[in-house]
């Protein structure tokens, strides 16, 4: 994608979209940002998701943010739903990115030269099928891309990193073994976030994220789900969260897919009559989850 996705417009002071991401340059968050906005997107690297949300909400620092929300293997990143709920950010898009792990080395390094492999513990776990073939020392680090940056900076001939193809490009490293992840069908879903007051209506939107509460009455959740189905809307995700300080009450995050906005607005109206509270986090285009 070479053109900037118009879900977020750059600030008047800059021709580039600037978004906050978790991780360092070369991370999968940066890959997701490029997939959505194009290669010219500028990223603000953050150490935590809380920082991502804080900077995304600050109009003086960014145009928005990109935040991972779930993985096809590890499941939902539950704290990030809480961060979203407490923010003033809207979801204006999503990206499904296939997570391809690669073994990166400095120029001229061979498999026989490697003594250590550095990466984030999750990336190492994803590659045990490949790593178990070798007697390498496995060193856990805080970030995949940072591991790649470190071996490039130290010109190491005996250390490899597990990271993305983008990290190899940015730090001028060789991919000595591509696609070493054990499970090939591994995708992470990223949300594209923007401040509520500037988020524009997305043309041809066909997906939405909502949050609602139900009471303790018998079958209350079933009634809401039945109403969604009756309106011909597809429920693609349902996640429950306990409401702090309540007596076993829960809120529910739902992702729904629909044909047009009229259909969505109709189901929201129907749901409001059956729920104690309902909030729309965003109405956007389906990122087309892989089957």
**What radius of gyration do the chain's Cα atoms show?**
21
The pLDDT assigned to 6 comes to 55
187, 72 contact by CB (below 8 A) = yes
CATH topology of domain 102-177: D-Maltodextrin-Binding Protein; domain 2 (3.40.190)
Number of helical (H) and strand (E) elements in the chain, helices listed first: 9, 15
Write the burial class of residue 75 (CB in 10 Å: 0-12 exposed, 13-18 middle, 19+ buried). Answer: exposed
Per-residue pLDDT at 243 exceeds 70? yes
161, 150 contact by CB (below 8 A) = yes
**Is CATH 3.30.70.260 the classification given to domain 207-284?**
yes
CATH topology of domain 18-98+186-195: D-Maltodextrin-Binding Protein; domain 2 (3.40.190)
Return the H-helix or E-strand segment holding 43.
strand 42-46
The pLDDT assigned to 26 comes to 96
Q: How far apart are CA 91 and CA 210, in angstroms?
A: 10
Q: How far apart are CA 253 and CA 151, in angstroms?
A: 41
* Interval 202-220 mean pLDDT: 90
Share of the chain above pLDDT 70, in %: 95
Kindly report, as residue ranges, where domains of CATH 3.30.70.260 are found in the chain: 207-284
Tokens 């007697």 — which residue?
Answer: 135
Per-residue pLDDT at 24 exceeds 70? yes
The pLDDT assigned to 7 comes to 67
For residue 25, the tally of other CB atoms under 10 A from its CB is 17
Per-residue pLDDT at 14 exceeds 80? no
Kindly report, as residue ranges, where domains of CATH 3.40.190.10 are found in the chain: 18-98+186-195, 102-177
Angle, alpha carbons 280-283-289 (nearest 5°): 115
The pLDDT assigned to 244 comes to 81
Exposure string for 220-235, b = 16+ CB within 10 A, e = fewer: ebeebeebbeebebee
Q: pLDDT tens across 95-147, in order?
A: 999 999 999 999 999 999 999 999 999 999 999 999 999 999 999 999 999 99
């Amino acid at each position: 994608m070479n053109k900037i996705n118009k879900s977020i417009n750059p600030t008047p002071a800059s021709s580039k979209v600037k978004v906050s991401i978790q991780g360092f340059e070369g991370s999968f968050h940066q890959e997701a940002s490029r997939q959505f906005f194009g290669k010219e997107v500028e990223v603000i690297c953050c150490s935590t998701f809380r920082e991502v949300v804080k900077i995304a909400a600050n109009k003086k620092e960014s145009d928005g943010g990109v935040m991972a929300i779930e993985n096809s293997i590890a499941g939902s990143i539950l704290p990030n739903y809480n961060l979203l709920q407490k923010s003033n950010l809207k979801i204006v898009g999503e990206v499904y990115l296939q997570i391809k792990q690669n073994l990166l080395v400095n120029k001229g390094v061979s498999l026989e030269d490697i003594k250590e492999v550095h990466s984030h513990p999750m990336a190492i776990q994803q590659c045990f099928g490949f790593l178990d073939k070798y007697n390498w020392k496995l060193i856990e680090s805080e970030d995949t891309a940072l591991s790649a940056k470190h071996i490039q900076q130290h010109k190491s001939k005996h250390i490899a990193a597990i990271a993305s193809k983008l990290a190899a490009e940015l730090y001028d490293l060789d991919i000595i073994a591509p696609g070493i992840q054990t499970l090939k069908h591994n995708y992470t879903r990223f949300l594209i976030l923007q401040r509520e007051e500037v988020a524009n209506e997305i043309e041809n939107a066909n997906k939405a994220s909502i949050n609602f509460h139900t009471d303790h009455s018998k079958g209350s959740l079933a009634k809401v789900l039945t109403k969604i189905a009756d309106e011909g809307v597809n429920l693609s995700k349902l996640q429950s969260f306990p409401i702090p300080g309540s007596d076993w009450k829960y809120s529910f995050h739902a992702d729904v897919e629909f044909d047009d906005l009229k259909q969505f607005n109709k189901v929201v109206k129907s749901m409001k009559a059956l729920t104690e509270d309902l909030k729309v986090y965003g109405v956007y285009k389906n990122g087309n989850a892989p089957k």
